[in-house]
Amino acid sequence: MADITSFIPGTVYPSAALRTEVIVAQNTIDFSKTNVASGAVVNVLRIPKGAFVIKAGIYVKTAEGSTLTATYGDASGANSWDASVNLNSTGIYVSEEGTDAYAIGKIYTVADTLDLTMSAAADTAVVYAFAEYSIIEALADA
């Protein structure tokens, strides 16, 4: 099954001028507007080359209304940011917990996306994906 990319904007944030700042990238994923199937890999945020992602998370604004979980990860590991996000319960899931592979952060030497991998079909949930990162100039310019 191909990744679903319709939720993420076409540009990568930030511009080169912001390289010394901490960036908080965020995106709204509204499954009531774009339904997805069980097993779908939903790209939710673009991460630029050279980013040191300090933390990443999901805030569930609107619950699905039926059993639905997802993993939160990237190309290296589908569940590396969070192994179990309950999309049928409002609340926040942040990668700072010691059980997540990237609990202490991750350096991206190539551009990537953060992804939700769905356990079931979704047609109601509304979630906010976010990541806090800085750009390591030596890696971004390499």
Number of Cβ atoms within 10 Å of the Cβ of 136: 17
- What does the alpha-carbon distance between residue 76 and residue 37 come to, in Å, rounded to a whole number? 22
User: 19-62, pLDDT tens digit by residue?
Assistant: 568 899 999 999 999 999 999 999 999 999 999 999 999 999 99
User: 62-121, pLDDT tens digit by residue?
Assistant: 999 999 999 999 999 999 999 999 999 999 988 766 567 888 889 999 999 999 999 999
Which alpha helices (H) appear in the chain, and where do they start and end? 137-140
- What does the alpha-carbon distance between residue 93 and residue 91 come to, in Å, rounded to a whole number? 7
Q: What is the pTM of this model?
A: 0.84
**Ordered structural domains, the chain, with CATH:** 21-140 (2.60.120)
Residue type, 130: F
Residue type, 134: S
